[in-house]
Copies of this chain bind each other. A is one copy, B any other.
Amino acid sequence: MTASSSLFFCSVHMNVLSPKTSKCPKTFVCYHSKISYMEPKGNKFQLDDVLDAQQFDRDILNAIFEVARDMENIERNSPDSQILKGYLMATLFYEPSTRTRLSFESAMRRLGGEVLTTENAREFSSAAKGETLEDTIRTVEGYSDLIVLRHFESGAARRAAAIASVPIVNAGDGPGQHPSQALLDVYTIEREIGKLDGIKVGLVGDLANGRTVRSLAYLLAKYKDVKIYFVSPDVVKMKDDIKDYLTSKGVDWKESSDLVEVASECDVVYQTRIQKERFGERLDLYEKARGKYIVNQNILKVMQRHAVVMHPLPRLDEITVDVDADPRAAYFRQAKYGLYIRMALLKLLLVGW
């Protein structure tokens, strides 16, 4: 079992909503404490950190999506919003991810907040000299009101949150989690299809390595009457842990090798990139896998009028460029929904509901 899978189970089995466990006071070291990221507050929730997709239940997702809708209005109509005026966000990126970084930084600025940027914290002189992540966090929290952390090690965000007195947002920790991506995927489906209960979703491409599709499958299980199709080359099939989890939750799922049939039935065709870097020297396997399931005009032809094509981006040729012009191509809108989700998260973490 990979690190990713085992982490996943660990998180799934963990009780993530243990209200009122307050965060560690700053003068205390509490590496092994259980963190709660949400406490009830009136009839709302207090969001303390954003660490993994598993921390969100259906009510919280709905509440966040409501705020995201407000953010759409703000971004369009209030270019001069001052909701986060006076707040300072640090983007501490131990590996470059310009897309994610720009999305968070844009979200912060669209709400009137300010940003401190580190594009390559791995070469951070201190990290290079052997400083621990914990020490770095303790320094950077003194300079900022919130830290968006991208790290190459699974669990890094959780370690940071254990020590930090400011909110931590996990913007991807190695093979681990990337919760804002998971949220934006679900939000995109709701915005594009208009509902989450009763939807049919085809997950296509690299289902073994993509944390995106794994998290999405996990979150979809929170909704009713969902049907999931897995369409992938044999070498990168969805792993058993997720299948077992879906089964345990009563989600109807099915493996298929017929993308045309799946596309004709689904509300959402979620395409992903076959990740070359996972194949090592076996480029022959990679080449075989990448060409197998392509979303093109033939797929569009069978898709329903209301259905959409999603993709976490970047795409190579697993969606042909001539699909872009079709109104059902939702992947660039999906990137934009990511901005609204991040605006919502930043607002909730810094000023609450």
Contact = CB atoms under 8 A, between A and B. Distances in A.
Interface residues of A, number: 60
A339 interface: yes
B314 A103 contact: no
A166 to B, nearest CB: 12
B314 A135 contact: yes
**Integer count of this chain's copies in the complex:** 3
Contacts of A110: 88
A136 B129 CA distance: 30
A281 interface: no
A336 B86 CA distance: 18
A239 interface: no
Given A97-B125, A321-B29, A106 B143 contact: yes
Contacts of A324: 29
Interface stretch (A44-52, A112-120, A241-249, A253-261): A112-120
The 10 closest A-B pairs by CB, nearest first: A79-B86, A131-B314, A106-B143, A126-B314, A80-B86, A142-B336, A29-B325, A98-B124, A109-B114, A138-B332
13 contacts: A29-B321, A29-B324, A79-B86, A80-B86, A99-B125, A103-B143, A106-B116, A106-B144, A109-B116, A117-B117, A131-B313, A138-B335, A142-B336
Interface of A: 27-29, 79-80, 85-88, 90, 95-99, 102-103, 105-106, 109-110, 114, 116-121, 123-126, 129-132, 134-136, 138-140, 142-145, 273, 313-316, 321-322, 324-325, 327, 332, 335-336, 339
